[in-house]
Chains A and B, each alone.
Chain A
Amino acid sequence: MPEETTNGTPMIEVQDLAKWYGTTEALRQVSFSVQKGEILGFLGPNGAGKTTTMRILTGYMPPSSGTARVAGYDVFYDSIEVRKRIGYLPETVPLYPEMTVWDYLDFCARLRGVTEPDAAIERVMEMTGIGERADWLIGKLSKGYRQRVGIAQALVHNPEVLILDEPTIGLDPKQIIEIRNLIKSLAGDHTIILSTHILPEVSQTCSRVLIINDGTIVAEDTPERLSARVRGAEHIHLQVAHPAPEIPAELEKVQGVLGVRVKTNGVYEIETNLGTDRRAEIAAMVVQRGWGLLELRPLSLSLEEVFLKLTTTEEMPQ
């Protein structure tokens, strides 16, 4: 029954997952699925339920109710089968400071039954760029290197599924780019879930985003469509060479244009109906009237704004 994840059936399937810590509900009826080879981003503020979801998927803790399946195996009933297929980087990287990088990776490989540990270790050290630190004690490594050792550990048994909890936390910008590129290069062969509270991270690495707040999924879409959905209307940026006072009124006559704002001299922001593209008409008008078209482009909100909007509107009722 399991293993048939290549054609259509999702690699990870979560149904109505809930988790209670005593009387606090950390997760409520969360459902989502991840296809093979996808990179799914979990986005949400601290305490939203990202780590809880990941811990349930990795078999660290059972859900209070609901089901989760990885590669067709139930995370509760076939926990060991699930764990064989998952590489997990927890939020606090589980490192033994008194071990060398090589010994640590060797331990992780053997723990997961890797048949040729040496080759596997060479491979992941190359991938994560920690080759020259093989004989260092983990306790002596910088934060960036520790994070990479943590990722190497998650990859050492070449798992089908990778679950990374805040993989780029504490890294410098150059390392962040390296790790993101590494994660992107792993997609396809691996199915990846990564959590973050840093917005550019999801737009740069993920093919799909899941925004969690307060234990529930607030939104789920591609990074691009998500920002379009929040926009509610399309905005167009227009710059002309010869600004004239009648321009806004004239532009509003174009069909589908809802409003025009003057931003600075010669720069306008035009709001149009959602799903309509009025750039051709606008361009034609500008050229026809001789206003001198300098620039015309659609504006899209950054994910940062999406996120702020989503979480703040969710928090408003309180």
Chain B
Amino acid sequence: MRNIWAITLRELKAYFVSPIAYVVSALFLVAMGYLFALILINSREASLRYLFNNMIFVLLIVAPALTMRLLAEEQRMGTIELLLTSPVHDWQVVLGKFLGSFILFVVMLLAPTLYYVLILQVFGPPDYGPILTGYLGFVLLGAAYLAVGVFGSSVTQNQIIAFFVSLVILLLMWIADAAMGVFGTSALSDALAYIALPRHFSDLFRGVLDTTDIVYALSIVAIFLFLATQVLQTRRWR
């Protein structure tokens, strides 16, 4: 456990000595602030569900930018040799890296949006139920995206390639249900519907707490972190 934390902490420090944490979170907050104001003025509704639904798309680009460095840079610099010959399991390396990006995400991207809730409170007290489940959805969505990003970063030593691999995977998951019609009412179209990202999170953003959605997000995290670990392990065999 302590060595996972050592990796997480190093990752967090690395974010703040490079401009990436500042640039990415600033751009994210600009986009979110713009959307928040626009939606509020147009809908005059004291809720965050429309904003959160838009965020599914914004994070599609932001999350891979946060994770692209994680494993790709270690492989390019050769520092991966330090990690892989230290007494830590490969999954601990992957988990440590993931937690680093996740903590950054919660502190730098999610936490600053809490002031939207304050603004809503001033102008018209919102219904706090959907806002709470909405933030749960925010956390889960971020975790799922970042896990995909960690996987993207494991397959290459090039950060740009890592970014695009993650982006494409997320895009495909985002629009997976678009292909449903082709398959009619079959198990495959059910599967595609299950894979599609927005379906699961719009429930949470609306205030519906469904365990399948939580299980969905957690299984995306588990699957992609598992895959990243496997990729790291196959590196040893080359």
Assess whether A112 is in contact with B82, with CB atoms less than 8 Å apart.
Answer: no
CB of B199 within 8 Å of the partner chain: no
CB contact list, A103-132 vs B, under 8 A: 103, 107-108, 110-113
Assess whether B81 is in contact with A60, with CB atoms less than 8 Å apart.
Answer: yes
Within the complex, what minimum Cβ distance (angstroms) separates A217 from chain B?
23
CB of A28 within 8 Å of the partner chain: no
Assess whether B237 is in contact with A61, with CB atoms less than 8 Å apart.
Answer: yes
Indicate whether A96 sits within 8 Å of B14 (C-beta atoms), given known contacts A60-B85, A113-B87. yes
* 14 interchain pairs, CB-CB under 8 A: A58-B85, A59-B85, A60-B81, A61-B237, A80-B87, A90-B82, A94-B80, A96-B14, A98-B18, A99-B13, A99-B17, A107-B6, A112-B3, A113-B2
In the bound complex, CA of A250 to CA of B178 (Å): 103
Contacts of A146 in B (CB 8 A): none
CB of A14 within 8 Å of the partner chain: no
In the bound complex, CA of A113 to CA of B2 (Å): 7
Assess whether B236 is in contact with A111, with CB atoms less than 8 Å apart.
Answer: no
CB contact list, B72-89 vs A, under 8 A: 77-89
Contacts of A84 in B (CB 8 A): 87
Indicate whether A60 sits within 8 Å of B84 (C-beta atoms), given known contacts A90-B78, A92-B78, A94-B77. yes
Contacts of A58 in B (CB 8 A): 85
Indicate whether A111 sits within 8 Å of B7 (C-beta atoms), given known contacts A21-B238, A62-B236, A62-B237. yes
In the bound complex, CA of A99 to CA of B10 (Å): 9
A-B pairs, top 7 by smallest CB distance, nearest first, are A94-B82, A110-B6, A94-B79, A83-B87, A58-B85, A92-B78, A84-B87
**Which residues of A approach B to under 8 Å, CB–CB?**
21, 58-62, 80-81, 83-84, 86, 88, 90, 92, 94-96, 98-99, 103, 107-108, 110-113, 153
**Which residues of B approach A to under 8 Å, CB–CB?**
2-3, 5-7, 9-10, 13-14, 17-18, 77-89, 236-238
Please tell me which one of the listed residues A62, A81, A99, A110 contacts residue B3 in the complex, with CB atoms under 8 A apart.
Answer: A110
Please tell me which one of the listed residues B17, B88, B89, B238 contacts residue A111 in the complex, with CB atoms under 8 A apart.
Answer: B88
Contacts of A96 in B (CB 8 A): 10, 14, 77, 79
Please tell me which one of the listed residues B13, B81, B88 contacts residue A94 in the complex, with CB atoms under 8 A apart.
Answer: B81
Contacts of A98 in B (CB 8 A): 14, 17-18
Contacts of A62 in B (CB 8 A): 236-237
Assess whether A111 is in contact with B85, with CB atoms less than 8 Å apart.
Answer: no
Within the complex, what minimum Cβ distance (angstroms) separates B79 from chain A?
4
In the bound complex, CA of A59 to CA of B18 (Å): 31
Assess whether A112 is in contact with B85, with CB atoms less than 8 Å apart.
Answer: no
Contacts of B83 in A (CB 8 A): 111
Indicate whether A83 sits within 8 Å of B85 (C-beta atoms), given known contacts A110-B2, A112-B3, A113-B3. yes
- Which residue in chain A gives the minimum CB-CB distance to B73? A96
In the bound complex, CA of A92 to CA of B82 (Å): 10
In the bound complex, CA of A88 to CA of B80 (Å): 13
Please tell me which one of the listed residues A59, A80, A107 contacts residue B10 in the complex, with CB atoms under 8 A apart.
Answer: A107
In the bound complex, CA of A181 to CA of B7 (Å): 33
Within the complex, what minimum Cβ distance (angstroms) separates A297 from chain B?
47
Within the complex, what minimum Cβ distance (angstroms) separates B212 from chain A?
37
Contacts of B237 in A (CB 8 A): 61-62
In the bound complex, CA of A86 to CA of B87 (Å): 9
In the bound complex, CA of A98 to CA of B10 (Å): 11
In the bound complex, CA of A130 to CA of B221 (Å): 42
Contacts of B5 in A (CB 8 A): 110
Assess whether A103 is in contact with B236, with CB atoms less than 8 Å apart.
Answer: no
Contacts of B13 in A (CB 8 A): 99, 103
Assess whether A153 is in contact with B86, with CB atoms less than 8 Å apart.
Answer: no
Assess whether B82 is in contact with A61, with CB atoms less than 8 Å apart.
Answer: no
In the bound complex, CA of A162 to CA of B197 (Å): 49
Contacts of A86 in B (CB 8 A): 85
Contacts of A21 in B (CB 8 A): 238
In the bound complex, CA of A61 to CA of B84 (Å): 9
- Which residue in chain A gives the minimum CB-CB distance to B88? A111
Please tell me which one of the listed residues A80, A103, A153 contacts residue B82 in the complex, with CB atoms under 8 A apart.
Answer: A153
- Which residue in chain A gives the minimum CB-CB distance to B7? A111
Contacts of B81 in A (CB 8 A): 60, 88, 90, 92, 94
Contacts of B18 in A (CB 8 A): 98
Contacts of A59 in B (CB 8 A): 84-85
Contacts of A95 in B (CB 8 A): 79
